[in-house]
Amino acid sequence: MRIAVIENELSIQDMLRYALELEGHRVDIYACIPDQFLTCDLVIIEPGEYGQHFQVVLHCIEYYRVPVVILTFYDWNIIMAQEYGVPALRKLPFRLSLFLKYVNMFQDSTVSRLKVG
């Protein structure tokens, strides 16, 4: 699966790339929100301290039809994610097994869409 990670913290970028590539995924890392997304199957994003990039999350879902997982330090983003029905995980404490469970859930649905379509 091809995954776009939008994260400005270098250490978190590295950890996510390493974990996802070990699982066999192709990973594109962006320090900030790109003007366009390459074709990807999943976007992992930190919407910002005050949710200032939450519109991008909704745009990915509605316009690009790409599933999104929010990975954040901030309670505000967790609340917004729950409001919009978007999966969200906290960066601290980070639980790799839970994170990979979410990713694999989307991989399974992507494979199902390809088989049906």
CATH code, 25: 3.40.50.2300
25-36 pLDDT, tens per residue? 999 999 887 766
Neighbours of 44 (CB within 10 A): 25
- Rounded average pLDDT over 3-14: 92
Structure tokens at 98: 């839970």
**Across-strand partners of 96?**
none
Handedness of CA 30, 57, 11, 4 (dihedral sign): negative
In this prediction, residue 5 carries a pLDDT of 94
In this prediction, residue 11 carries a pLDDT of 93
Which residues are CB-neighbours of 63 under 8 A, at least 6 positions away? none
Distance CA 9, CA 77 (A): 17
In this prediction, residue 50 carries a pLDDT of 79
Question: Is residue 44's pLDDT more than 80?
Answer: yes
Domain limits for position 72: 2-116
76-106 pLDDT, tens per residue? 899 999 998 999 999 888 888 999 988 988 8
CA of residue 58 relative to chain centroid, distance: 12
Number of domains observed in the structure of the chain: 1
In this prediction, residue 13 carries a pLDDT of 94
- Rounded average pLDDT over 60-85: 88
In this prediction, residue 42 carries a pLDDT of 92
